[in-house]
Amino acid sequence: MAKVKTTFFCQNCGAQYAKWQGQCTSCKEWNTIAEEVIQKPEKSSWKTQSSTTKRVSKPLKINEIDTSQEARLNMQDEELNRVLGGGMVNGSLTLLGGEPGIGKSTLLLQIALKLPYKTLYVSGEESQKQIKMRAQRINPNGENCYILTETKTQNIFKQIESVEPDIVIIDSIQTLHSDYIESSAGSISQIKECTTELIKFAKETSTPVLLIGHITKDGHIAGPKILEHMVDTVLQFEGDRNHVFRILRANKNRFGSTNELGIYEMQGSGLREVSNPSEILISEKDGELSGNAIAATIEGMRPLMIEVQALVSTAVYGTPQRSATGFNAKRLNMLLAVLEKRAGFRLGAKDVFLNITGGITVDDPAIDLAVVAAILSSNEDVDLPRDYCFAAEVGLSGEIRPVQRVEQRILEAEKLGFSTIFVSKYNKISLLKPKIKIQLISRIEDLTSFII
């Protein structure tokens, strides 16, 4: 019997060691190194009978390279197409990561059911019956969708050879295992080997492959970092599980920009594409309410109007509470300090709660001004007109700073019927006769004169 070959892998970053050690020298994590059995096969190939002909690639002049192979498959889903950069490139490998229960399986099953191409959906997590039950809720048709429950890559490839699908979906990469490696499914060496086999299959047959990947507690894709380097595109599906909105972004894309964003709404019958998110994120209210302000933000390439809610109340305990949902708590403290110092508000004895509605998290600094406006409005208990919106960053000395792509924000606000937008005086705006009133301000004190 051949000697069993083992090696040690860091379960956090995938670094390989000959011996066990307490700390990983590459990522500095403790107790992450585990022994895994590996067995190098003579030849690992995705085909069952290894009939691969040796192809030697030759250098070609760049303008002689044929790019017609890079044809894209239309995924029948506007949001996904946009995030992928116009559809899925043939022979590409895409990894979709996201928290458990966020809707990764739902999204890909829904797409598999809609596609007019022959699609093979391989699941290592659910049975065919379970998938069928879910499919009936989403879309009872789906004539081109084949479901396979299998976790061994060699068996999957055997079925692929007989079904000959145009696109393959794997749910999830962590459940797969290959005969060539002895360690258990989900281990670093298994994930690496299965991905390598899938890449070989995708490239040799020009079939696009979509993989679902689990993520770790801190939001990274589980498995070796190298997995993200191996695939062509890494998509992230995120959102708050208690809310209905889900955002799809590209963290890496070899065939398009990473600035695009897809927005979905989780419904009883699957995920619905949201093409006009601003109209949904802003709640319909009859009267004006204090503490609510609307920010004209940009997520990726898309303008998005977002509602910010603040509640300022007298602190019951000695240390006032500050809490922010969907917004950086440190930044909230900074804005409060600026308000205190520059605009003379005594917020030190007040509790401040901030919430971005819709369960989304915003990084765009242009939301600062809306946060300040919401806080001021709640503190003074005065209502802000519902047709005001804000787009500017607030600096440490209370100056209102310009933001990028302000014209796009103004146009979106105008389209949605806002009457006034507050932006920085230092933004260069060359719009011809906008219908919306553009209120230029340069200091935080200026804002108080408008809203209080």
The residue of the chain with the least Cβ separation from Mg ion equals 105
Among 101, 140, 318, 344, binds ligand TYD (CB under 6 A): 101
Backbone angles phi, psi at 315, to 5 degrees: -70, 135
Burial class (CB in 10 A: 0-12, 13-18, 19+), 388: buried
Among 134, 152, 401, 405, binds ligand TYD (CB under 6 A): 134
Binding partner of 100, given ligand TYD, Mg ion, none, CB within 5-8 angstroms per partner class: ligand TYD
H or E stretch covering 386:
none
Contact status, residue 427 vs residue 403, Cβ threshold 8 Å? yes
Closest contact distance (angstroms) between CB of 123 and Mg ion is: 8
Note whether 110 binds Mg ion by CB under 5 A.
no
HSE-up (13 A, CA, CB side) for residue 27? 16
Closest contact distance (angstroms) between CB of 113 and Mg ion is: 15
Contact status, residue 199 vs residue 226, Cβ threshold 8 Å? no
C-alpha closest to that of 372 among 417, 404, 413, 338: 338
* Residue 210 vs 374, nearer CB to ligand TYD: 210
Amino acid at 349: A
* Residue 11 vs 105, nearer CB to Mg ion: 105
Count the site residues for ligand TYD by CB under 6 A: 15
Stretch that binds ligand TYD, among 55-63, 100-108, 162-170, 215-223 (CB under 6 A): 100-108
Note whether 198 binds ligand TYD by CB under 6 A.
no
Closest contact distance (angstroms) between CB of 108 and Mg ion is: 9
Binding partner of 98, given Mg ion, ligand TYD, none, CB within 5-8 angstroms per partner class: ligand TYD
Backbone angles phi, psi at 306, to 5 degrees: -125, 140
Contact status, residue 303 vs residue 261, Cβ threshold 8 Å? no
Task: List, in order, residues 6 or more apart from 389 with CB less than 8 Å away.
Answer: 293, 294, 295, 296, 305, 370, 413, 418, 420, 421, 422
Note whether 105 binds Mg ion by CB under 5 A.
yes
**Rounded Cα distance, 134 and 105, in Å:** 10
* Residue 169 vs 295, nearer CB to Mg ion: 169
Note whether 222 binds ligand TYD by CB under 6 A.
no
DSSP 8-class letter at 406: H
* Residue 125 vs 380, nearer CB to Mg ion: 125
Binding partner of 138, given Mg ion, ligand TYD, none, CB within 5-8 angstroms per partner class: ligand TYD
Note whether 270 binds ligand TYD by CB under 6 A.
yes
Among 10, 111, 131, 138, binds ligand TYD (CB under 6 A): 138
Note whether 175 binds ligand TYD by CB under 6 A.
no
HSE-up (13 A, CA, CB side) for residue 401? 13
Note whether 224 binds ligand TYD by CB under 6 A.
no
Note whether 100 binds ligand TYD by CB under 6 A.
yes
**Rounded Cα distance, 35 and 37, in Å:** 7
| DSSP characters over 255-287 | TS-S--EEEEEEETTEEEE-S-HHHHHSPP-SS
C-alpha closest to that of 394 among 421, 365, 422: 365
Note whether 129 binds ligand TYD by CB under 6 A.
no
Note whether 247 binds ligand TYD by CB under 6 A.
no
Among 45, 106, 189, 253, binds ligand TYD (CB under 6 A): 106
Note whether 350 binds ligand TYD by CB under 6 A.
no
* Residue 139 vs 290, nearer CB to ligand TYD: 139
| Footprint on this chain of ligand TYD (rule: CB under 6 A) | 98, 100-106, 134, 137-138, 266, 268-270
Binding residues for Mg ion (CB under 5 A): 105
